[in-house]
Structure 1
Amino acid sequence: MEVQTTKIHAALLASPGIGHLVPVLELGKRLVTQLDFQVTIFVVGAEPSVLESQLQNFPKSSIFNVVSLPPVDISGLVDPNASIVTKIIVMMRESVPDLRSEISVLKLRPTVLIVDLFGTEALRLADELNMLNYVLIASNAWFLAATTYFPTIDGKQEDEHIIQQKPLIIPGCKPVRFEDTLEAFLVKNDELYLEYLRIGLEIPAADGILVNTWEDLEAKTLQSMRDTKMLGRVTRVPIYPIGPLVREVKSPALENPVLDWLDNQPTESVIYVSFGSGGTLSAKQMTELAWGLELSQQRFIWVIRPPVENDTVMLCILLGRRKWM
Structure 2
Amino acid sequence: MPETASSGTDRDDRPHVAVLANSGLGHVIPLLEFSKRLVVGHGFRVTFLVVTTVDPTPAQDQLLNARGLPHDLHMHGLPAVDTSSIVPEDSRILTRISLVVEASIKSLKATLIELNYPRALVVDVFCTQAFGVASELGIPTYSFFTMSATMLAFSLYLPTLDREVTGELVDLPEPVRVPGCPPVRPEDLLDQAKDRKNEEYRWLLYHFSRLPMAAGIFLNTWEALEPGSLRTLREDSFYRNVPVPPVHAIGPLVHEDGDAEGLRSTDAECLAWLDRQPGESVVLVSLGSGGTLTREQQAEMAWGLELSQQRFLWIVRKPADASASAAFFNVGSDEEDDPTKYLPQGFLEKTREVGMLVPSWAAQVAILSHPSIGAFLSHCGWNSSVESLARGVPMIAWPLYAEQRTNAAMLAEDVDVAIRPSVEEGRKVVGRKEIERVVRAVMRGEEGKRMRRRAREIRDSSVESLSHGGSSDASLAVVCEDWKTKSS
**Structure-2 change in CA distance of 1:166 and 1:48 (3 Å):** closer
Q: How far, CA to CA, are the matches of 1:262 and 1:230 in structure 2?
A: 51
1:276-315 equivalence runs, <5 A: 276-287=288-299, 290=302, 302-306=314-318, 313-315=342-344
Q: Is 1:24 aligned to 2:31, yes or no?
A: yes
State the shift of 1:113 in Å. Answer: 0.7
User: Which secondary structure does the structure 2 equivalent of 1:11 belong to?
Assistant: strand
Q: How far, CA to CA, are the matches of 1:181 and 1:49 in structure 2?
A: 31
Partner of 1:14: 21
Partner of 2:255: 247
Partner of 1:70: 79
State the shift of 1:311 in Å. Answer: 5.9
**Structure-2 change in CA distance of 1:249 and 1:80 (3 Å):** closer
Q: How far, CA to CA, are the matches of 1:193 and 1:48 in structure 2?
A: 25
Partner letter of residue 283 of structure 1?
A: R
Q: Is 1:265 aligned to 2:277, yes or no?
A: no
Q: Is 1:128 aligned to 2:157, yes or no?
A: no
Task: Give a deviation string over 1:214-249, Cα, whole Å, max 9, x none.
Answer: 000000000001114144433511000011110224
**Contact conserved, 2:46 with 2:74, CA < 8 A, in 1?**
yes
State the shift of 1:81 in Å. Answer: 1.4
**Contact conserved, 1:214 with 1:241, CA < 8 A, in 2?**
yes
Q: How far, CA to CA, are the matches of 1:176 and 1:189 in structure 2?
A: 21
**Structure-2 change in CA distance of 1:54 and 1:160 (3 Å):** closer
User: Which secondary structure does the structure 2 equivalent of 1:118 belong to?
Assistant: coil
Shifted more, 245-254 versus 255-264: the winner is 255-264
Q: Is 1:190 aligned to 2:198, yes or no?
A: yes
**Contact conserved, 1:14 with 1:43, CA < 8 A, in 2?**
yes
Q: Is 1:59 aligned to 2:74, yes or no?
A: no
Structure 1: gaps spanning 5 or more residues: none
Q: How far, CA to CA, are the matches of 2:166 and 2:308 in structure 1?
A: 33
Partner letter of residue 128 of structure 1?
A: E
Q: How far, CA to CA, are the matches of 1:298 and 1:147 in structure 2?
A: 39
Q: Is 1:42 aligned to 2:49, yes or no?
A: yes
Partner letter of residue 286 of structure 1?
A: Q
**Structure-2 change in CA distance of 1:155 and 1:40 (3 Å):** closer
Shifted more, 14-23 versus 251-260: the winner is 251-260
Shifted more, 22-31 versus 247-256: the winner is 247-256
**Contact conserved, 2:299 with 2:343, CA < 8 A, in 1?**
no
User: Which secondary structure does the structure 2 equivalent of 1:12 belong to?
Assistant: strand
Q: How far, CA to CA, are the matches of 1:262 and 1:229 in structure 2?
A: 52
**Structure-2 change in CA distance of 1:55 and 1:16 (3 Å):** closer
**Structure-2 change in CA distance of 1:218 and 1:74 (3 Å):** same
Q: How far, CA to CA, are the matches of 1:160 and 1:323 in structure 2?
A: 49
Q: Is 1:224 aligned to 2:224, yes or no?
A: no
Partner letter of residue 138 of structure 1?
A: T
State the shift of 1:148 in Å. Answer: 2.1
**Contact conserved, 1:70 with 1:98, CA < 8 A, in 2?**
yes
Q: How far, CA to CA, are the matches of 2:93 and 2:217 in structure 1?
A: 25
**Contact conserved, 1:42 with 1:66, CA < 8 A, in 2?**
yes
**Contact conserved, 2:122 with 2:143, CA < 8 A, in 1?**
yes
Shifted more, 150-159 versus 64-73: the winner is 150-159
**Contact conserved, 1:146 with 1:170, CA < 8 A, in 2?**
yes
Partner of 1:33: 40
Partner letter of residue 280 of structure 2?
A: Q
**Structure-2 change in CA distance of 1:165 and 1:116 (3 Å):** farther
Q: How far, CA to CA, are the matches of 1:223 and 1:9 in structure 2?
A: 31
Shifted more, 7-16 versus 280-289: the winner is 280-289
User: Which secondary structure does the structure 1 equivalent of 2:20 belong to?
Assistant: strand
User: Which secondary structure does the structure 2 equivalent of 1:195 belong to?
Assistant: helix
**Contact conserved, 1:39 with 1:65, CA < 8 A, in 2?**
yes
Match of 1:168 among 169, 176, 181: 176
**Contact conserved, 1:290 with 1:319, CA < 8 A, in 2?**
no
Partner of 2:217: 209
State the shift of 1:85 in Å. Answer: 2.5
Partner letter of residue 214 of structure 2?
A: A
State the shift of 1:280 in Å. Answer: 3.8
Structure 2: gaps spanning 5 or more residues: 1-11, 321-337, 356-488
Identity %: 35
State the shift of 1:54 in Å. Answer: 1.6
State the shift of 1:292 in Å. Answer: 6.5
Q: How far, CA to CA, are the matches of 2:353 and 2:139 in structure 1?
A: 55
State the shift of 1:109 in Å. Answer: 2.1
Partner of 1:83: 92
Partner letter of residue 42 of structure 1?
A: L
Match of 1:102 among 105, 111, 125: 111
**Contact conserved, 2:14 with 2:45, CA < 8 A, in 1?**
yes
Q: How far, CA to CA, are the matches of 2:189 and 2:23 in structure 1?
A: 23
Q: How far, CA to CA, are the matches of 1:210 and 1:196 in structure 2?
A: 18
Shifted more, 307-316 versus 5-14: the winner is 307-316
**Contact conserved, 1:172 with 1:231, CA < 8 A, in 2?**
no
